[in-house]
A and B are shown apart, each in its own frame.
Chain A
Amino acid sequence: MNGNKPSEMNATLTTCPYCGTGCNFYLLSGSDGRLSGVEPAAKHIVSKGRLCMKGWNAHAFVHHPDRLSTPQLKRDGALQDCDWDTALATVHQRLQAIADRHGPDSLMFFSSAKVSNEENYLMMKLARAGFSTNNVDHCARLCHSSTVVGLAETLGSGAMTNTLDCFDHTDLVFVIGSNTTEQHPLIGGRILQALRHDTKLLVADSRKIRLAQHANIHLRHHNGSDVALINGMMRQILVDGLEDRDFIARRTENFDALRDSLEPFTPEYVAAITGLEPQQIIDATRLYAGADNAMIVFAMGITQHSHGVDNVRALSNLALMTGNLGRPGTGINPLRGQNNVQGACDMGALPNVYTGYQQVADPQARLKFSTAWGKELPETPGLMATHAIEAAAAGSVRGMLIMGENPMLSEPNQTLVRKALENLDFLAVIDIFPTETAQLADVVLPAACYAERDGTYTSTERRVQRGRQAVETPGDARADWRILCDLLQRCGIKANYESPAQIMDEITTLTPSYGGISYQRLEGGHGLQWPCPDADHPGTPILHQEQCTRGKGRFSPTRYRPPKELPDEKYPLLLNTGRTAVHWHTGTMTRRSHLLHREEPHAFAEVNPQDAGQLQICDRQLIRVSSRRGSIQLKARLTERVPAGQIFIPFHFAEGAANVLTNNALDPESGIPEFKVCAVRVEPC
């Protein structure tokens, strides 16, 4: 124990590893190479000297004793330490053997929204060039795949249209399906600050989230009724004549089809579907459409439905109809959950695109990448992560490499996921902790965490920023990019990069929207917002300014489809899932951070007191929650935050895993699961 030197001798500026807001902070460390704390970057354009509770504790898990520090190989049914060469050779040989015997598409590669752009690029290169399959995906499938599909179709780009500074210049924020103060706390804070300066707030969320307390109108519509609500609002806009006719005429197409599709969505019809009063719908419409500049903010409450793409389309239609696009303080703004989920998508860690959303099915794009990589590339789009799980359970996917993801807890229907992973001929996992997924692996490769490697991350506002190494990896653990380079070399693909900066140089030559990004440019300022096509380009804070990325904004009519599984007699309550303010996803990092774990140490379910009364459940009592897919035990938390008829369970906790219960009903276009709606039964234990 080194106590004789000051513990805050070094300060390393880096990007927060948690949500997609893109806060920067200094990691403080002593001469013993141990992190001792975090200090928010005072002058950074996003963090402005502020952080959330997770950010303030971002150093806390880094030196946890559970960190993986030695490669492990399963022998005699148990993971045992081995050397790197054995581990890497095994991964390469076993995956190659499966590909040789069953074809390249019997492999699946899970990339990660927690690793850098450079590492996502290498992972998709490994899948495509190394093993000749487009079966590469990552957890964006579970969060914003609906957004990417919906916004790409209507606007031509699946990313947040505006920039975070726009919250300071808007007249109204419409938050739908985003618990912003808990999941993007610094953005939530900006919204709360904006309200002090006369910005209006419209919140649509079945839960009484913090922002709802400050909203001019809070709509508690039923989970899964968003399409009806938004279509109803648009119909009312037309009735009131609040549409932006000039914008519609100049900048959009297919308006007539949209107008026709809205006819059935009268306030009364919408009220019957959403559980709202007709007047609430009319009032909310006038609030939104009456603002000169209005921002739509959404997240998982919109996307995680079997009709998630339609939800996004409907919101995009709403923004287009009112001309809220391409100006400061407007736009349609999906808040990306992970610190690099935007980047992982940008880097082509998706089954249908290379970097910068260049289609694998496009012969020209394929030629460009195959020329750069010196390898013929497959042309058929690959499997989505959720479909890959189903394929593994069915036996057609036989080998997987999973980097920095924990599908055992994060994918819906845990029983199916376990069956799928156990069914594999070979599973390799690259991670920093022995996750529930790593326990099932044949080889586990210990990786560097964010504080131990260089790289870039792309935040929700498309801001590409540096992450910097502050301390060394534990034991023999290696940075993910080094592990991937080794595997690429073993596949015969040249990958002798000396640093992530060199990898970025390769990315920029292949990716028009990242063309002007370099480590040198990222060093001095506050990152660069793509598109940034050349070295002199200042970046693009606001998209679709003169015209949409696809040219004209396209209205895309939607029809209301109810969720796949609604409460019934046998399973009478609706289960909503999500996260808490202090934990991150499957808890691998935050449950190993003392203050965060102490704050929420147990699995719990939010239960409305009215339901609790009927079920004879009291606060903190152990309950059993069951769905058609499984059953878990956890503590009840009685609260008015959830409406009667709904319970809410965060999915962080392995011992009360919400995803035992959730329904793997997928959106037909995006493959996203319906995490926000399924039917459950609650009983006292």
Chain B
Amino acid sequence: MLKQLTQQDLFELFDRLAEQYHLLMPTLLTDGSRELMPWPGSKAAAIDGIIPSMAGEPIQRKPTSHFFPQTDPLVFLKPDGTVSVPQPPDKPLALCGLNREDLAAVAFVDRFFSAEPADDVYLAKRSGALLIGLSGHCGDGSHGDHFLPLAQGLCDIELIAEEPNEEKKEQEKQWLAVVYNAVGEQWLSGFAAGSPQRLELLRHKSVTMGHQQQELLQQASRLLQADQVPDSFWQEISSRCIRCGGCNFVCPTCTCFCVQDRTTTAGTQRSRIWDSCQLDAFMREASGHNPLGTELLRTRRRIHHKLVDDPKRWGEISCVLCGRCDRACPTGIGMVAVCEELVRRFTS
């Protein structure tokens, strides 16, 4: 299904979605970053002058955090021995504005948490959630002027921003909507049909952009698998790691967590919280022995996991090239930075 939407149509769609979903939209925060925040409703948006920030830099916080948050309650244990689990969501989430990298990350994490034994805490939030992808003329320029087209199956609805027309105001912007499944069709059925030729044109423009960094990851992966990278390299990289954990916390495909118990007279709240493999305690055993007991091993593992281990287990590199770890690393040793250095130095 292909539809054509005006900005007004879009707001109408959002209002309708917000009745049945917790709809989160890209929103400009006071510091200038974009985050997925609750859609205030078109009336409130008009009154407060809030418009969804559909164009701009990638969403700051990894969108997978909405299904796998930094702190996630698991069970509550009462002193009388009874156990309660969190209530299911009163309505499912709808995340709007995900680019191709973010959607690829959700797909990866879906596979991870759906594998047996399935993670019911994740699936309780993920099941029934609606994903609205975004492509077309709404990037920040870092990938050219476009986000890349979204692969079918990664989202329910894809919104494609038409080329901005300088004579037109932002409110008159036009959108194409590609619908990938029945749920999407249910929401878009009432809108005007879009032009396949127009879609073809936008697709053609986007495809020519390409993703050069994909090849960089592949090269790095091959070098690592062929054991071409000596430990001295990892020693050097790890000496620049200040153990902030940011690379893990911002990574949309990182799924490691640890368990935290907090006890009051009312009982014990057990939650899971994001963990970081860059911490010494990540794999430290009760004896004190630590199979990842050096910075070198931990730094190497972070890159190996994404470029060697995950391809073996899941058939794909689990870095989606969202760029978050490179932006979050205080010392410049995010995934792309490390791979660039690695490929430059060890490609014969």
Contacts and interface: CB of A to CB of B under 8 A. Distances in A.
Interface string B318-348: 0000000001111110000000000000000
Interface string A530-555: 00000000000000000000000000
A7 B69 contact: yes
A392 B58 CA distance: 58
B196 to A, nearest CB: 36
Nearest to B22: A6
A14 to B, nearest CB: 11
B60 A52 contact: no
A552 to B, nearest CB: 38
Contacts of A97: none
B61 interface: yes
Interface stretch (A184-192, A407-415, A479-487): A184-192
A4 B89 contact: yes
Contacts of A49: 33, 60, 327-328
Nearest to B95: A6
A1 B328 contact: no
- Of A8, A182, A185, A524, the most chain B CB neighbours within 10 A belong to A8
A287 interface: no
Contacts of A599: 279-281
B10 interface: no
A64 B279 contact: no
Nearest to B75: A1
A42 B60 contact: yes
A56 B249 contact: yes
B195 interface: no
A74 B180 CA distance: 67
Interface string A44-55: 100001111101
A186 B84 contact: no
Contacts of A192: 240, 242, 330-332
A598 B262 CA distance: 14
B39 to A, nearest CB: 11
Interface in B22-76: 22, 24, 29-33, 35, 37-38, 57, 60-61, 65-66, 69-73, 76
A13 B330 contact: no
B165 interface: no
A49 B84 CA distance: 37
Contacts of B330: 50, 52, 185-186, 188-190, 192-193
A56 B245 contact: yes
Contacts of B142: none
Given A37-B65, A53-B245, A185-B242, A594 B29 contact: no
A23 to B, nearest CB: 10
Contacts, number: 161
A56 B243 CA distance: 11
B131 to A, nearest CB: 15
B115 interface: no
A39 B61 contact: yes
A8 B37 CA distance: 8
A51 B247 CA distance: 10
Contacts of A523: 30
A419 interface: no
B262 A64 contact: yes
B89 A5 contact: yes
A43 interface: yes
- Of A3, A44, A55, A189, the most chain B CB neighbours within 10 A belong to A3
Nearest to A635: B288
B88 interface: yes
Interface in A27-81: 28, 35-44, 49-53, 55-56, 59-60, 63-65
A60 B262 CA distance: 11
Contacts of B86: 1-4
A42 B70 contact: no
A434 to B, nearest CB: 14
B87 A11 contact: no
B75 to A, nearest CB: 9
A595 interface: yes
A210 B65 CA distance: 32
B73 A1 contact: yes
Contact size range, A: 35 or more
Contacts of A9: 22, 37-38
Interface string A420-453: 0000000000000000000000000000000000
Interface stretch (B100-108, B156-164, B215-223, B268-276): B268-276
A7 B24 CA distance: 12
A37 B71 contact: yes
Contacts of A38: 70
A521 interface: no
A49 B29 CA distance: 13
A52 B329 CA distance: 9
Nearest to A196: B332
- Of B22, B249, B274, B330, the most chain A CB neighbours within 10 A belong to B330
Nearest to B61: A39
A524 B29 CA distance: 11
A185 B244 contact: yes
Contacts of A52: 242, 244, 330
Contacts of A11: 29, 35, 37
A4 B240 CA distance: 41
B33 A42 contact: yes
Nearest to B249: A56
B258 interface: yes
B35 A39 contact: yes
A433 to B, nearest CB: 14
Interface in A168-198: 181-182, 185-186, 188-190, 192-193, 196
Contacts of A576: none
A252 interface: no
Contacts of A614: none
Contact of B275 (A210, A582, A595): A595
B65 A3 contact: no
A214 interface: yes
Contact of B328 (A40, A59, A196): A40
A42 B279 contact: no
Contacts of A28: 61, 70
Contacts of A8: 61, 65-66, 69
A633 to B, nearest CB: 17
B281 to A, nearest CB: 5
B18 to A, nearest CB: 13
A581 interface: yes
Contacts of A556: none
B263 interface: yes
A579 to B, nearest CB: 14
A213 interface: yes
A37 B239 contact: no
B71 A59 contact: yes
Given A42-B60, A50-B329, A4 B88 contact: yes
A553 B194 CA distance: 72
Nearest to A36: B71
B173 to A, nearest CB: 24
Contacts of B90: 4-5
Contacts of B73: 1, 3
Contact of A43 (B32, B61, B72): B32
A22 B264 CA distance: 33
Contact of B33 (A41, A51, A598): A41
A42 B66 CA distance: 19
Given A3-B88, A50-B327, A51-B244, 19 more contacts: A1-B73, A4-B87, A6-B24, A7-B69, A8-B61, A11-B37, A39-B61, A42-B32, A42-B57, A44-B31, A50-B244, A50-B246, A50-B329, A51-B328, A53-B276, A192-B242, A595-B279, A598-B279, A599-B281
11 contacts: A1-B269, A4-B88, A6-B66, A41-B33, A44-B31, A52-B242, A53-B245, A59-B70, A189-B244, A193-B331, A581-B242
Interface of A: 1-9, 11, 13, 24, 26, 28, 35-44, 49-53, 55-56, 59-60, 63-65, 181-182, 185-186, 188-190, 192-193, 196, 210, 213-214, 523-524, 581-582, 594-595, 598-599, 601, 620
